[in-house]
Amino acid sequence: MFIVSSYSLAVIFCFVTMLCWGSWGNTQKLAAKSWRYELFYWDYVIGMVLFSLLIAFTMGSFGEGGRPFLQDIGQASWSSLGWILLGALVFNVSNILLSASTSIAGMSVAFPLGVGLALVVGVLNNIIFHPKGTENIPLLFIGVALIVVAMICNGVASGKVSAAEKDPATSRKGIILAVLAGLIMSFFSALVYNGVDLDNFVSPAAGKCTPYTAIVVFSIGVFLSNFIVNTIVMRKPFVGEPVTYKQYFCDGNARTHLVGMLGGAIWCLGTALNYISAGKAGASVSYALGQGAPMIAAIWGVFIWKEFRGGGKKVTALLTAMFVAFIAGLSLIVLSGN
């Protein structure tokens, strides 16, 4: 299987993760305007499963290092698989909440608040449970603190725009959902890594999984849990009327379904590269860099979707401060693992 052999390549892969995690939300906006996010999410998880299998049978099966995908999944212990599936369930709950927040409050609000919070708490979780690659913890903490500053700037800017242009009650619901999503999401990475041998990808420990097996099991876990989690949300939506499976099959066209699957594939690519990089960069650094996605999402929201249009000079200043803090924070996170 393909194995990352240098820290610099691991960092590059983590930045690709950041781009993927911060961009998949665009597909939710590109889907048909009448296509509810609960229905979009089914295409999203199908795209995850299909792309994870593609990665596993290509990058995860070629080369001399490590165990090929089929051999690896055949020897994986139930304990390792259980940790990954638990991580998938936790992620699925959080990501559905994030999707709901995106549909209500927009990308430039949901991602910086939700994913930014997931970054802060998730880094702490990974430091505690998977400390490899966190030799310079003070520098890592300073970088994370700057991300917190960026989150605060975004939240204040969002509040000013919401007060002027949006329904306060709806905006408040979107923000609350983003915060809940971030808190829950912060645990999924550490749970998944319990089932992966982060110390030796070349000769993984017996019973442990390689990153390629982890992403496949994880994606299948998200798909299976979706029958429970997303079905509940479809029947009891956060906003609007309930939706049915009949609407999924009758109302969506090929383009709408493919756009949703593309979103899942984009997310899956970023996650696979994040798992692959964790062996060299460490769980905390790779997770922290990948969760720089709010900056990417905010760029999309500000410059493409114009979600802060009409906010005035104060909002512009706050957004500028947010971007500066994010860039500085991410730079320190990179240095902390080198």
For the chain, the straight-line distance linking the first and the last C-alpha, in angstroms and rounded, comes to 25
Most confidently modeled of 129-143, 148-162, 176-190, 280-294?
176-190
Tens of pLDDT along 98-122?
A: 878 877 877 667 777 787 788 888 8
Asked if 223 and 49 touch (Cβ cutoff 8 Å), the reply is yes
What is the distance between the alpha carbons of residues 122 and 32, in angstroms, rounded to a whole number?
33
pLDDT band at 88 (very low <50, low <70, confident <90, very high): very high
**How many of the other CB atoms lie within 10 Å of CB of 172?**
15
**CA-based R_g, the chain, Å:** 19
What are the pLDDT digits (tens) for 22-66? 888 789 878 867 788 899 999 999 999 999 999 999 999 988 778
DSSP designation for 282: -
Q: Check residue 82 and give its pLDDT.
A: 97
Paired tokens of 34: 């009448």
User: What are the residues whose beta carbons fall under 8 Å from the beta carbon of 266, sequence distance 6 or more?
Assistant: 20, 23, 24, 27
Q: pLDDT digit string (tens) for 199-256?
A: 888 888 999 999 999 999 999 999 999 999 999 999 999 878 999 999 999 988 999 9
What pLDDT score was predicted for residue 180?
93
DSSP letter for 4, please. Answer: -
Asked if residue 97 lies in contact with residue 89, where contact means CB atoms within 8 angstroms, the answer is no
Give residue-wise pLDDT tens across range 138-162: 888 898 889 888 878 877 786 676 5
Question: What is the pLDDT, as a whole number, of residue 299?
Answer: 77
Q: Token pair 């708490």 is at which residue?
A: 121
